[in-house]
Amino acid sequence: MDSLLCDEVWLSSPATPDHHNQPRYSHGENYAAASSFYTTKEDCEKAVSIYLEKEFTCMPEPGYVEHLRTKNLLFARLRAIQWLIKSRERLSLSFETVFNAANYLDRFMSMNQCHGWKCWMVELLCVACLSVASKFTETRTPCLHDIQMEDLDHSFQPITIQRMELVLLRALGWRLGSTTAYSYVELLMMEIDFLKSYSYLQKDLVACRITELLLGAMQDCSMVGFRPSITAISALWCSLEEFVPSKSDAHLAHIKGLLNALDHKDDVVIKCHGIMEAQLINPVYNLLACGKKHSYCCPSSPVTVLPTERIGIYDCDVDLSFFNDSGSNNKQETSKKKRKWHEKSIKDDGFQKRIK
C-alpha cells in the first residue's frame, strides 16, 4: 500500500467544520476560531513555509490569462467559477472545497491551451473538479447526480464524469493539496496582534469578510496571476480597513511586517490591493474585466424561472483524447518556469511604473 501513496506534503487548511451540527454565519460557514488547527507560533511558521514553497506549483501555467483572452474563454471561466461558488452553497460544501476546485480548473485549462474549448467541455471539467475536490476535502461527498443538478446547459453520465476525473488527476499529477489564497486566512489573522483580543464571533466575522473578498477575487481573471499569499494579504488589508478604519496606520505597519516575513514586495501587494478595492467600489468590475457589458444573471422576466431542458451528453459521444495527458511530467521544471515568469512580470510592472 505504501507504494500507492504520493510524496506530497500538505497541511489542513483553516478548520473545516461539520456543517450539519454547527450554526452558520452570513456566508454559510462557521470558521471555528476556538479550535484552531495551528496551536503554536512554530506551527504557524512551519505552515507558512510549506505553503509558500508549494504555491508556485499550484498556480496556472504562464500565459494563462492571455490564452483566456485570445480564445474568448474569459466569460466561460467566470461562469464556471460562479457555478462552483453557487454549488458550494447548494451542496453545503466547505470553502476549502470550492477554492481547490477552482484551482484545479485553472491549472487544467492552462495546461490545455492548444485546443478549442466548447461549452460542454468547460461544464464537464467543472463537474469533475468539484467532484474531485469534494472527495479530497469533505467527509460526506455529494453524488454526481446532485452535483450537476442545477445551472448547467448539459448533463453527463456518471461514467463520463469519472473518465474526466481520471484525466484531470493525471494532468495535475495527482497533487490535490493545493495552496490557495484561502489556505492563508487563519495564518494571517493570527499574525495581527490586535485581533488576538477579539472574541471568537468577531474573528469569525473578519474571516468571513476575508473569504468573501477572496471569492470575488477568484472570479476576476486579472487576479489569477498573483501568488495566493499576495491575494490573501490584500484581502486581509481590505477587511481591516472596513472593520477598524481608525487603525489604518497600524494596518499598514502589520501588512509591511507580513510582507517582510513572506519576502514579498510592496508594489505587487499594492497593485493587488488596488484591484480588490476596485471590486468593492464597482460590483460589476469582474464582468467588465471579462469584456462583457452585461452580467451573467437572469433578468427579472417570469420566463427565466422556468427550467430549461438540458442537453444530454452520452459517454459514447465524448472523446477526451484531445486533452493533454502530460501534466504530471517535469513538475520541478514547471515550478521553476512559473517562478521565473512571476519574477519577470514583477520587474516589468515596476519598470513600467518608473516610466510613468
Closest residue by Cα to residue 217 from 143, 269, 160, 161:
269
pLDDT digit string (tens) for the chain, length 356 residues: 455 555 555 555 444 444 444 433 344 454 444 445 666 777 777 888 888 888 888 999 888 999 898 888 999 999 999 999 999 999 999 999 999 999 999 999 998 876 678 889 999 999 999 999 999 999 999 999 999 988 888 899 999 999 999 999 999 999 999 999 999 988 887 777 666 667 777 778 888 999 999 999 999 988 998 999 999 988 988 888 888 776 666 766 776 666 666 666 678 888 888 888 887 776 554 444 544 443 333 344 444 444 567 787 767 777 787 775 444 444 444 555 555 555 555 444 443 444 34
Indicate the residue among 262, 289, 316 that finishes a domain. Answer: 289
Q: What is the predicted pLDDT for the residue at 166?
A: 94
- Please give the residue range of the domain that contains residue 265: 181-289
The number of folded domains in the chain is 2
pLDDT of residue 165: 95
Asked whether residue 250 is assigned to any structural domain, the reply reads yes
CA quadruple 284, 28, 119, 151: dihedral sign: negative
Q: What is the pLDDT of residue 296?
A: 38
CATH number of the domain enclosing 207: 1.10.472
Residue tagged 506549483 (cell numbers): 57
Residues 142 and 212 in one domain: no
Query: What is the per-residue pLDDT across 244-274, written as a single tens digit (0 to 9) for each?
Result: 776 666 766 776 666 666 666 678 888 888 8
Which CATH number does the domain housing residue 87 bear? 1.10.472.10
Q: Do both 126 and 186 map to the same domain?
A: no
CA distances to 27, 44, 325 from 33, in Å? 15, 15, 41
Query: Do 191 and 285 have their domain in common?
Result: yes
| pLDDT the model gives residue 298 | 39
Residue 94 located in a structural domain: yes
Evaluate whether residue 322 is within a structural domain. Answer: no
Residue 17 lies in a domain: no
Per-residue pLDDT, 56? 87
**334 domain-assigned:** no
Helical pair 74-91 and 200-219, crossing angle rounded to 10 deg: 150
Q: How far apart are CA 102 and CA 325, in angstroms?
A: 19
Place of cell 488596488: 274
Indicate whether 52 belongs to any domain.
no
Residue 82: closest CA among 235, 224, 215, 272: 215
